[in-house]
Structure 1
Amino acid sequence: MSVKTMIFVDGSWLYHSRQALFESLGEESGFEIDYKRIPDIIAHEIADILDAEVDVVRTNYFGTIPVNKQGYNPAKQKAFYEFLALQCAYDTEILEIDFRREPQARPDDKWVNVALASSMLYFASVPGAYDLAILVGGDADYIPMLKRVRAMGKRVQIVGMSNLDGKFLTSAMLLTTPGIQDMPPIFLDEHAQKIRLVREEQRRACKNCGREETTTWAGPDFFCSTCRNEHRKQVRVCDTCGREEETTWDKPFFYCSECRNKHREGDTAG
């Protein structure tokens, strides 16, 4: 009989811990994480530990996104979350932090921690939802939650980072507190090579104009570089002279090409 498993990913922790994955392969930065493979790698490790078939019924991912924040364009972050949901089959719970309503808001891990904890406890209370809960995270704040989940008759597994080289990306308390996990922790940085995304170049036709272009993009919709640049363009008003001009500049301030040229000429003359 398979072990019904749910994975709960602290997206904020995983994002801030990704440097450890790079360094474990001797790289400072740069490679992409293959999010599709993470649930499979975890399931394979658990199956070896339990000597049983593991059925991952859901991978829950928790994150935040700023909205109505001056100077911030959330398009790229939204596209990433959509990729997780549509291409990786993650169940995403993304908390919107509205800077119009809360101008002094400071996004931090607590937003994600509370959402993840409430979700894991909720599903623990649903009969037959899961037998094993896997936490992909590293904060000691999760200790009370894990104790409650185990008290409800569920097994718990922690997936973190190994804290080599004094990084301490996973709380030592989370790794060593008795009564909060049923198996030794799994460390993602020990599987960095498997998690690394390898993209292959291919020729694809642009969905908008039909032009073919070499790309490593594997998503369902592909747009060529020309169409992507056109899509990014917008008409903005120059902060100096008030002239309108088409641009891809997305920062809160904007100066038209004529004013920029005048500024450069002034620097040269000086």
Structure 2
Amino acid sequence: MQYKTIVLVDGENLVQRYQSLVQAGRVPIKTVDHERDCFVWQKDILNEHGNNDVVRVSYYTTVVGDDNKIYEIKRKISESIFEFTTISSQEWSGTLVPYVFKKEKQNSKSKSVDINLTIDALKYAYGTSIDKVVIMSGDGDYIPLLREVMSRGKMVQVYAFSDGLNKEIFCNVDDLFLLDDLFFEPND
């Protein structure tokens, strides 16, 4: 069965966890696209778990800088692609939809990503056109959201890096996929 799927990416969380793994010595694979502190992506990220009919991939992040910097990041994100193969072996691709919010200082906390991602996830959960919601984040703050989306009869998957992954997520999703092997060379 093919599931109509929406993908919501907490770019802040992914970037932070990715950069932490790089700092710990992991070596990124060549196909990783990374912009320090605001963006990380790998076009084959959705190809590993193939029963998705991906309708949209929304990428939420924050940026420190002026309007030109924000536009530059939006453009970079919107030019990034995702690829996946359907159950019937058809190959599809699309581009990411950017949601970029301004942040005053690099070390300051912003709730813009969490709030907007949550609102969008709830819209899809209460609608009837989506079967599955994929959240890309290992942040435990999303656990109540994951439970609510599941209570609406939607399948929920989480894609996250092992670094900083809240262990309670395992108990609150249909599937959890670790991203480490998709972004980094194998550990020796």
Give the number of equivalent residue pairs. Answer: 166
SS of 1:170's partner is coil
TM-score under structure 2 length normalisation = 0.73
Q: Contact between 1:13 and 1:109, CA under 8 Å: does it hold in 2?
A: no
Query: Following the alignment from structure 2 to structure 1, what is the Cα–Cα distance between the partners of residues 184 and 26?
Result: 11
Aligned residue for 1:41?
Answer: 45
Question: 1:131/1:162 Cα in 2 relative to 1: closer, same or farther (>3 Å)?
Answer: same
Question: 1:46/1:30 Cα in 2 relative to 1: closer, same or farther (>3 Å)?
Answer: closer
Q: Contact between 2:134 and 2:159, CA under 8 Å: does it hold in 1?
A: yes
Structure of higher RCO (CA pairs closer than 8 Å, 6+ residues apart): 2
Q: Contact between 1:21 and 1:188, CA under 8 Å: does it hold in 2?
A: no
Query: Following the alignment from structure 1 to structure 2, what is the Cα–Cα distance between the partners of residues 24 and 46?
Result: 27
Q: Is the helix fraction higher in 1 or 2?
A: 1
1:187 to 170, 178, 181: 178
1:26 deviates by: 4.0
Aligned residue for 1:174?
Answer: 169
Q: Contact between 1:25 and 1:192, CA under 8 Å: does it hold in 2?
A: no
1:18 deviates by: 1.7
Query: Following the alignment from structure 1 to structure 2, what is the Cα–Cα distance between the partners of residues 146 and 115?
Result: 15
Q: Contact between 2:31 and 2:42, CA under 8 Å: does it hold in 1?
A: no
Moved over 6 A (4+): 29-32
Alignment of 1:47-126 (within 5 A): 47=50, 53-66=51-64, 72-73=65-66, 75-88=68-81, 89-97=95-103, 107-126=108-127
Alignment of 1:233-248 (within 5 A): none
Counting aligned pairs with the same residue, the percent is 25
Q: Contact between 1:22 and 1:192, CA under 8 Å: does it hold in 2?
A: no
Query: Following the alignment from structure 2 to structure 1, what is the Cα–Cα distance between the partners of residues 7 and 21?
Result: 20
Q: Is the strand fraction higher in 1 or 2?
A: 2
Aligned residue for 1:17?
Answer: 17
Question: 1:193/1:161 Cα in 2 relative to 1: closer, same or farther (>3 Å)?
Answer: closer
TM-score under structure 1 length normalisation = 0.53
SS of 1:18's partner is helix
- Per-residue CA distance 1:197-235 (angstroms, 9 max, x = gap): xxxxxxxxxxxxxxxxxxxxxxxxxxxxxxxxxxxxxxx
State the one-letter code of the partner of 2:150. R
SS of 1:41's partner is coil
Q: Which 5+ residue runs of structure 2 have no aligned equivalent?
A: 34-39, 82-94
1:120 deviates by: 0.6
1:20 deviates by: 4.6
Q: Contact between 1:131 and 1:155, CA under 8 Å: does it hold in 2?
A: yes
Q: Contact between 1:64 and 1:94, CA under 8 Å: does it hold in 2?
A: yes
1:94 deviates by: 2.0
Looking at CA atoms only, which structure, 1 or 2, has the larger radius of gyration? 1
